[in-house]
Amino acid sequence: MASEPQGGLTEYIQHHLHHNVVSLGDGPFMKLHLDSIVVAFVLGALFCLWFWLKARKATSGVPSKGQAFVELIVEFVDTQVKDTFHGDRRTVTPLALSIFMWVTFLNAMDLLPLDAPGFAVKTAAGTEAMHGTFFRWVPTADINTTVGLALCVFFIVLGHGMKAKGTLGFGKELVTAPFHAHNPVVVAILVPFNLALNIIEYLSKPVSLAMRLFGNMYGGELVFMLIAGLFAGWISFLPGVLFNTAWGIFHILIILLQAFIFMMLTIVYIATAREHH
């Protein structure tokens, strides 16, 4: 959520589209988005600590409200896995639970005020200066975060496919499916087509995961900034609060829905990878 902007609306929005960057050297992969990394790791640690404490204090009798709430979440996720993945769930359910809770935590940061104090940054001339930088609270509104999550899921899916079919079986399926043939000559002709289709299919999975989550959270952040910019004056303060509140309530549904979709697609991708053509 955004507070009253300073300056023009366009300048305000452009200003908030930048991250606090830590440069490790030259090159496109030598810059770290400090805000996204810090928030993601802190929220991940809080999620682990929360569930660990509840598991440590769990009782077989009448559960406390906190334990009942955690059990409700775990049972909900396990039910989704059971309905989609028909195999050993001992590793899939914890993965799905971690994804759902972590992405929910990351998305929920969009409900916090946007304008947080920033840090000292270096100018183009290399001198230290205190600029009006702002800390971006929402890691999933950063394409780097969503791509990182999607790539982790991608490699996990590949691992499940190789474990279920063996490395040679997985490689054979890449060049013999979905088009099959009994004639060796036809099989050889179909190899490049099968390989190309399978590569496109596998690569489309992390792209769809990353872009869907990023697009929804980035768009939601922009809407908060637009509302703040359009209702920045004292006269329009009350309508601005009402519009921001209404969008925030609706945005809660988006936060939970995007986490649920990310989790479900991960489960579906794993189930598909373990199936034989």
How far, in Å, CA of 274 to CA of 160, rounded?
6
Annotated active-site residue 216? The verdict is yes
Task: List the Cα angle 139/142/144 in 5-degree steps.
Answer: 105
Closest alpha carbon to 157 in 77, 271, 78, 259: 271
Which of 20, 36, 216, 244 is catalytic? The answer is: 216
Q: How crowded is residue 230: how many other Cβ atoms within 10 Å of its Cβ?
A: 14
Closest alpha carbon to 58 in 48, 69, 47: 69
Which of 89, 144, 198, 212 is catalytic? The answer is: 212
Tell me how far CA of residue 156 lies from CA of 70, 96, 141, 261, 264, in angstroms: 25, 12, 23, 17, 14
Which of 3, 23, 64, 208 is catalytic? The answer is: 208
Annotated active-site residue 208? The verdict is yes
Which residues are known catalytic residues?
Answer: 208, 212, 216
